[in-house]
Amino acid sequence: MALPVYEMELHGHTFSYRMAGSGPTLVLLHGITCTSETWEEVIPALAKHFTVIAPDLLGHGQSAKPATEYSPGAYAALVRDLLIGLEQTRVTLVGHSFGGGIAMQFSYLFPEMIERLVLVSSGGLGRELHGLLRMAAVPGADVALGWLSSLGLHGLAERGARLLGRTGLRPSTDVREVWRGFGTFADVETRQAFFHTMRTVVDPGGQRATAADRLYLAAHMPTLIVWGERDTIIPVAHAEAAHGAIDGSRLEVFAQTGHFPYIDSPFRFVSVITDFVASTKPARVDAMTVADELRERSTPRPKLHAA
């Protein structure tokens, strides 16, 4: 099913997004190197229950790729502005991988807009990260990747995957989706946006951007955590730790799936999301609620100066 793609001019840049269905608003934020196309298998089923909005984040897909800030906070502000432009001010926010980090930033910065939070194989919950993505933070990686992209290795990998398929040995969804993302790096602007983004959240040792110290704030809204048991990109241990840190959160671990549970198990994913929304009340959180929580947990101390 081909889904309609729309565009909006925002702050002088073009934003591309997919939108379908009617009902409560569900916003799907993809991970790094992906686009809104990654949700195509689940959008039609979700659109039977929700107004589904899936943007191409800035620097990805058909959206603009300017030389600008690509931090999770900057992304969260742009998603807020896109939603306001679409007259959507109350949403359930679903974030996958890097999109999960953006979703958490959004919930901290604009809590009054969030009804529910769904984190899918989310970044920002621990240090561990697959070495392939850590390499993006190594000096010179951008030059090396540009050279590899120019050789057309993405097409070679796809041909190799087809040969494996004929023998019954199919690469995992994780491998296929990573290679699909790699194929976009032939475009210089996309490649530059990727490195700008990765270097705000990753260093050679792993993820350096973390929300672990603020997860208690998510207890103010219904929170669902979805993960693949066999995720080799971000380990499922991050999901278990986040579930323990967010009071009242739900955890769904999909067996036999990896970093993309909504692709590996689309029917279960749709069922879990639909049930979660139907069985929880929309949060009513404002800036004052967050401020009160922060004050309760803050301990001001006078700064001591040496004599």
pLDDT at 191: 82
* Dist CA 101 CA 209 (whole Å): 9
Q: How many helices and strands (H and E) does the chain possess?
A: 12, 10
Q: How far is 248 from 282, CA to CA, in rounded Å?
A: 14
Confidence class of residue 165 from pLDDT cuts 50, 70 and 90?
very low
Between strands 114-120 and 223-228, the pairing is: parallel
Q: Tell me how many degrees the CA angle 62-66-67 measures, rounded to the nearest 5.
A: 150
* pLDDT tens digits, one per residue of 111-130: 999 999 999 999 999 999 98
The CA distance from 185 to 6, in Å, is: 23
Phi and psi angles of residue 40, each rounded to the nearest 5 degrees, phi first? -55, -30
Residue 2: pLDDT band by 50, 70, 90 thresholds? low
Strand partners, 119: 95, 225
CA distance 44 to 24: 15
Hey, what CATH class is 5-128+209-297 in? alpha beta
Q: From CA 14, how far away is CA 64, in angstroms rounded?
A: 5
Contact at 8 Å (CB) between 115 and 92? Answer: yes
| Residue 34: closest CA among 182, 147, 151, 134 | 182
For the stretch 218-260, pLDDT in tens is: 888 999 999 999 998 999 999 999 999 999 999 999 999 999 9
Can you list the pairs that 292-298 forms with residues at least 24 positions away whose Cβ atoms lie under 8 Å?
A: 293/216, 293/217, 293/220, 297/216
Secondary structure element (H or E) that encloses residue 160, with its range: helix 153-166
Residues annotated as catalytic (active site), given as ranges: 97, 231, 259
Residues 28, 100: contact at Cβ < 8 Å? no
pLDDT digit string, tens, across residues 59-101: 999 999 998 999 999 999 999 999 999 999 999 999 999 999 9
**Cβ atoms 60, 70 nearer than 8 A:** no
Q: CA 251 to CA 119: how far, in whole Å?
A: 10
Cβ contact 17:55 at 8 Å:
yes
State yes or no: pLDDT of 294 exceeds 70: yes
Q: Please tell me the predicted confidence (pLDDT) of residue 152.
A: 53
CA-based max dimension of the chain: 77
What's this model's pTM, rounded to 2 decimal places? 0.89
Q: Is residue 51 within 8 Å of 24, Cβ to Cβ?
A: yes
- Mean per-residue pLDDT of the chain: 87
Closest CA to 124 of 149, 106, 150: 106
Cα–Cα distance for residue pair 123/109, rounded to 1 Å: 17
Distance CA(51)–CA(39), nearest Å, equals 14
